[in-house]
Amino acid sequence: MATKKQAENTNVLSIDIGGTSIKTVLLDEDGNMLSEYLKLKTPEGATPKDIVSGIVELIKPFPLTYDRVSVGFPGYVKNGIVKTAPNLAKNKWEDIDLGQRIADALDKSVRLVNDADQQGLGVVAGKGFEIVFTVGTGFGTALLFDGVLLPHLELAHFPISKEEDYDDYIGNKTYEKIGSERWNKRLKKVIEIYKTVFNYDTLYIGGGNSKQIDFKLEDNIKVVSNRDGIKGGAKLWKLSDGNNITTIKPKK
């Protein structure tokens, strides 16, 4: 029988960093919530220091009944190193060892991945080729096959016109500029493109602006919540190191 200490050590602190807010919840190893779902506004033009400080402040109410931390980040991440962060501070995020900084600040082991990848682990059924969209501050994607996370591609930065990539085309700044009706027409177009290119079995749409969808979705398209997605933090720790999954330990 597992001791209380051993049981606690299987818990996971799951964190979702977004351009609008930082969210967190304490999970057991199966993704069940053990705490309230908390969030804190992301500072405009957030720097690495802002993000780490925000996480430290946000988790203060939680008991220290976890040894593992999962972090979803809105940009390209490779082995715990942030390469891009298009919706945070400009010119402050290239080759930032955010995973190590969070591990050191919390004195816990950390796994850091793209936020859409973490959400994907939390919401997919694990059957066939599944794609996750996040439509929030920007546009994110995750690709999974039979529940296995495929290498992350920053599909948001493929051009959709001469002037715009997908992030520009469907992100929140555009939503606020063009309004709901035109934004929904654009989302329909993006869905049709992905349907043709990827021939997915199921598409999941999450992120803050998913609640703005006003058209009927096909039967294999499902709207999911951030609360569902953040549960992917538990599944992240069921994966083996490799395929861009790296366990980062505190330097102490």
pLDDT tens digits in sequence order for the chain, 252 residues long: 344 454 457 999 999 999 899 999 999 999 999 999 999 999 999 999 999 999 999 999 999 999 999 999 999 999 999 999 988 999 999 999 999 999 999 999 999 999 999 999 999 999 999 999 999 989 999 999 999 999 999 999 999 999 999 999 999 999 999 999 999 999 999 999 999 999 999 999 999 999 999 999 999 999 999 888 899 999 999 988 766 789 999 997
> How many angstroms separate the Cα of 232 from the Cα of each of 26, 87, 219?
12, 22, 23
- Would you call 137 helix, strand, or coil by DSSP? coil
Phi, psi at 10, each rounded to 5°? -90, -10
**Cα–Cα distance measured from residue 188 to residue 35, given in angstroms and rounded to the nearest whole number:** 36
Angle at 22 between CA 48 and CA 200, to 5 degrees: 105
**Cα–Cα distance measured from residue 33 to residue 44, given in angstroms and rounded to the nearest whole number:** 29
pLDDT computed for residue 245 by the predictor? 86
pLDDT computed for residue 228 by the predictor? 87
Contacts for 19 with CB less than 8 Å, ≥ 6 apart: 42, 74, 87, 88, 136, 137, 138, 172
pLDDT computed for residue 244 by the predictor? 72
Q: Which domains does the chain have, with CATH numbers?
A: 4-118+230-236 (3.30.420.40), 122-225 (3.30.420.40)
**Cα–Cα distance measured from residue 150 to residue 252, given in angstroms and rounded to the nearest whole number:** 32
Q: Which residues pair with 93 in a beta bridge?
A: none
pLDDT computed for residue 243 by the predictor? 65
Task: Provide the CA 83 distance to its chain's centre, in angstroms.
Answer: 15
- Would you call 23 helix, strand, or coil by DSSP? strand
**Cα–Cα distance measured from residue 179 to residue 226, given in angstroms and rounded to the nearest whole number:** 23
pLDDT computed for residue 240 by the predictor? 80
**Cα–Cα distance measured from residue 181 to residue 186, given in angstroms and rounded to the nearest whole number:** 9
pLDDT computed for residue 198 by the predictor? 96
**Residue positions counted in the chain:** 252
H or E stretch covering 247: none
H or E stretch covering 55: helix 48-58
**Cα–Cα distance measured from residue 40 to residue 92, given in angstroms and rounded to the nearest whole number:** 21
